[in-house]
Amino acid sequence: MTTYVTENPSQEPSVNPAHDIVDVQTTDCCIVGGGPAGAVLALLLARQGIPVMLLEAHKDFDRDFRGDTIHPSVMQIMEELGLSDRLLQLPHAKMRQVKVKTPEDTVTLADFSHLKTPYPYITMLPQVKFLEFITQEAQKYPHFQLVMGANVQELIIENGVTQGVRYRGGGGWQEVRAILTVGADGRHSRLRLLGDFESVETSPPMDILWFRLPRNPEEFEGGMGRFAPGHIVAMLDRGDEWQIAYVIPKGGYQKLRAAGLEELKKSIVEVVSELSERIENLQDWSQIAFLSVESSRVQRWYRPGLLLIGDAAHIMSPVGGVGINYAIQDAVVAANVLSKSLKNRYVQLSDLAKVQRQRELPTRIIQAFQTFIQKQIFAPVLQSNRTFQTPVLLRLPILRDFPARLIALGVFPVHVEI
């Protein structure tokens, strides 16, 4: 029997949906979500001659304030695919150190320049450019298909096995039948909801306001954190602009809105005085994006015929900017593990479990590291009048390089094996 799981899993699945289907297509792997995880997985499968369809809900890849950091671990993956040189021809900046500036001093939290890698830096590249690059590369392969504006609404389930999805787009309801469906649709994953996956959640002690201000050519490259009692500001180089994160205590957004935009601008200038003139570019709250920081992971990443990867499987805090890189590593492992089964047109539950086994421990470790940084560094500054203090553990010489290695290279190396 075929059922169609709608957006509200508490409702009974529909056996005879009322809407009419304009078209039905088939593929071997249907990937929902055209972010870094979905795009890279689609490319890897297409290179193997596996029919793959990538569904992206938006009409383009250009969304404000997505992560723009590509770490050495992913640059090495790009090198293994023969793409690193061309990727670095796109306009980008390089962050070789993570520094924190306080009213008293400047502290280096992570120095990537000493790492044993051909890419001893974090590449600051707009995500829209990265996704366009990857999908253009994938379009060179005849087995790849990209569908933009595909708003997935339902899972197709037959005898307990996911067999594809239904989406709105292209003039009506469309249906995609697939051997394997992959949810790579980010922190607000529709497939995570439709599949009724259970999450283990934490409550990070912060939220973030994102906005942009002009950057002067003579200013430093890469990025910098600014700490003052009760305030944290992070500045990320985006060429002629700064992408700025103003970190606030969890749940403090409404209080900040009530105080007014001028009060926010005053608070920012108190931390970063050189923005005093440029801050006037902020004229309206519509220029500011609010991010409710979350950190969670689903207990089980898969169901029969369905796999979650990237933020759909584990929502990352923005600490360290590691989300893109762990999502791409998920994609590489998924391609390594599943390509042979997809070529044989039969994916077993044990294959999907193997993907989670290889990626769950690195995810747990990096989320624990992020929680440590948030609780030991961010929370004391935000919730008291204390200034920044380097945690005692990170002052020990044996641990001094640990943050750089963990952020840049991940817990375990991931390589393309197909």
**What digits encode the pLDDT tens for the residues 86-127?**
999 999 989 998 888 877 778 788 889 889 999 999 999 989
pLDDT band at 306 (very low <50, low <70, confident <90, very high): very high
Q: Which residue has the higher pLDDT, 321 or 304?
A: 304
Render 210-242 in DSSP notation, one character per residue.
EEEEE--TTSPSSEEEEEETTEEEEEEEETTEE
Q: How does DSSP classify residue 14?
A: B
The pTM of this model reads: 0.92
Instruction: Taking each helix axis as running N to C, give the angle between helix 349-373 and helix 402-409, from 0 to 180 degrees, rounded to the nearest 10.
Output: 140
Whether the predicted pLDDT of 332 surpasses 90: yes
Render 337-394 in DSSP notation, one character per residue.
HHHHHHHTT---HHHHHHHHHHHHHHHHHHHHHHHHHIIIIIHHHHSSS------HHH
Contacts of 104 (CB under 8 A, 6+ apart): 387
Whether the predicted pLDDT of 152 surpasses 80: yes
**22 neighbors 179 (Cβ within 8 angstroms):** no
**What is the pLDDT of the chain when averaged over all its residues?**
89
Whether the predicted pLDDT of 18 surpasses 60: no
**349 neighbors 302 (Cβ within 8 angstroms):** yes
Burial of 300 (0-12, 13-18, 19+ CB in 10 A): middle
Whether the predicted pLDDT of 346 surpasses 60: yes
**298 neighbors 347 (Cβ within 8 angstroms):** no
Report the C-alpha gap between 185 and 241 in whole angstroms. Answer: 28
CATH number of 2-66+127-202+295-409: 3.50.50.60
Q: Which of 91-100, 174-183, 286-295, 393-402 shows the lowest per-residue confidence on average (mean pLDDT)?
A: 393-402
Whether the predicted pLDDT of 8 surpasses 60: no
Contacts of 263 (CB under 8 A, 6+ apart): 256
- Tally of CB atoms within 10 A around 236: 24
pLDDT band at 376 (very low <50, low <70, confident <90, very high): confident
Q: How does DSSP classify residue 65?
A: T
Instruction: Specify the pLDDT at position 47.
Output: 97
**19 neighbors 154 (Cβ within 8 angstroms):** no
- Residue 259 phi/psi, 5° resolution? -70, -25
Structural domain spans, the chain: 2-66+127-202+295-409, 207-248+251-291
Instruction: Specify the pLDDT at position 251.
Output: 83
SS3 281: helix
Report the C-alpha gap between 144 and 135 in whole angstroms. Answer: 9
pLDDT band at 4 (very low <50, low <70, confident <90, very high): confident
Over residues 405-415, the mean pLDDT reads 92
